[in-house]
């Protein structure tokens, strides 16, 4: 079964899970957790390479390119093979879980970094590109995964510098059709924008899907896998509650503000404008807020946040203590031995 594919493209913490839940509530669209099928496929050697893979990636890439060049269709045969791999997995997923649905939705933020590859493999797919104010996106990323530690989040993954240029490049190309939606516009006028998204996909507009939390779509399809670990479950429909959360953080933490100012300054202003956040107005919410903004309240501790704090502290300890690293290495070796089949 060759499915009709729909990809929601966006940086981490830019509202992609919320939009995926809305679309999954549609009667013709099957969504679910992030499968991450295409990122490994994009680095098999012909399109890109895996530097730390346990084989000679340079030799493998050259050998594969020679093999592909000798095929009847050349490079086109390689893209057909990649597509066949994806069609098999997506098609069987849709057949097993779709219950009459006709569109298979994949929302994996990392795909924004392999869009040129995806355009080759899925030139006929539907693409919805969701962008968010870059400081708001990074604030959400740091708070969701690094307990609000901006420096640690940036050191681990400079998401703004990686995703802004990649998304801007795709938005400027004209070969692959797409619809571009800003997160702030979607949560402010979800009915109007969801209707436009449905029209782009080619499915009927179902306004009831906007109430994704009431659509009976909280079961197994979203019970496991990667995605928004906390935010989207707090609401049943799009909300503007998180649009300006970042402002209070930067007002009350000069170090965070300096870090974000440096990050934004490193970006190409043309990329920011393409994403819908021109530099001229990017800092306007912060400048208008002044010093009278109440300090942000610390988030409520739950199991997820406690786990993240434990991971961060153990990771810091592993970096700073040679003894602790040796103990971890011995524990890993013991686990490998015990779990060996």
pLDDT above 80 (res 92): yes
The pLDDT tens digits for 181-221 are 999 999 999 999 999 999 999 999 999 999 988 755 444 45
The pLDDT tens digits for 229-267 are 555 566 788 888 889 999 999 999 999 999 999 999 999
| CATH 3.40.50.300 in the chain, residue ranges | 4-299
DSSP code string of 144-202: HHSTT-HHHHHHH--HHHHHHHHHHHHHH--SS--EEEEHHHHHHSHHHHHHHHHHHHT
Pick from 17-21, 254-258, 267-271, 308-312: least confident: 308-312
Q: Would you tell me how many other CB atoms lie within 10 Å of the CB of residue 289?
A: 14
CA-based nearest residue to 227, from 322, 93, 326, 106: 106
Give the CATH superfamily of 4-299. Answer: P-loop containing nucleotide triphosphate hydrolases (3.40.50.300)
Separation CA 34–CA 25 (nearest Å): 16
Longest CA–CA span in the chain (Å) reads: 68
Which string of b and e fits 178-216 if b means at least 16 CB within 10 Å? Answer: bebbbbbebbeebeebbebbbebbebeebeebbebbebe
Q: Would you give the end-to-end CA distance of the chain in angstroms?
A: 35
In the predicted model, what is the mean pLDDT of residues 135-153?
Answer: 93
- Helix (H) / strand (E) containing 69: helix 57-69
């Amino acid at each position: 079964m060759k499915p009709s594919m729909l990809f929601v493209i966006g940086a981490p913490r830019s509202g992609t899970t919320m939009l995926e839940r809305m679309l999954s509530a549609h009667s013709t669209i099957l969504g679910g957790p992030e499968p991450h099928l295409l990122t490994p496929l994009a680095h098999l050697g012909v399109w890109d390479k895996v530097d730390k893979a346990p084989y000679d990636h340079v030799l493998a890439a050259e050998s594969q390119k020679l093999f592909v060049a000798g095929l009847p269709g050349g490079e086109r045969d390689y893209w057909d093979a990649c597509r066949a791999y994806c069609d098999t997995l997506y098609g069987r997923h849709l057949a097993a879980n779709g219950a009459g649905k006709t569109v298979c939705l994949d929302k994996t933020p990392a795909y924004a970094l392999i869009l040129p590859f995806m355009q080759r493999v899925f030139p006929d797919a539907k693409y919805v590109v969701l962008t968010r104010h870059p400081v708001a996106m990074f604030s959400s990323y740091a708070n969701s995964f690094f307990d609000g530690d901006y420096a640690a989040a940036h050191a681990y993954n400079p998401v703004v510098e990686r995703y802004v240029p990649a998304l801007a490049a795709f938005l400027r190309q004209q070969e692959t059709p797409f619809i571009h939606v800003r997160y702030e516009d979607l949560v402010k006028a979800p009915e109007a924008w969801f209707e436009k998204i449905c029209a782009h996909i080619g499915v009927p507009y179902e306004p009831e899907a906007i109430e994704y939390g009431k659509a009976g779509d909280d079961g197994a399809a979203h019970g496991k896998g990667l995605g928004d670990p906390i935010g989207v479950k707090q609401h049943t429909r799009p909300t503007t509650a998180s649009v300006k959360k970042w402002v209070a953080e930067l007002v009350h933490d000069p170090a965070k503000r300096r870090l974000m100012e440096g990050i934004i300054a490193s970006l190409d202003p043309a990329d920011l404008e393409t994403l819908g956040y021109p530099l001229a107005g990017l800092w306007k919410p912060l400048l208008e807020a002044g010093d009278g903004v109440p300090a942000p309240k610390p988030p409520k501790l739950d199991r997820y946040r406690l786990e993240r704090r434990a991971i961060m502290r153990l990771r810091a300890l592993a970096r700073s203590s040679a003894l602790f690293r040796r103990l971890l290495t011995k524990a890993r070796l013991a686990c490998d031995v015990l779990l060996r089949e």
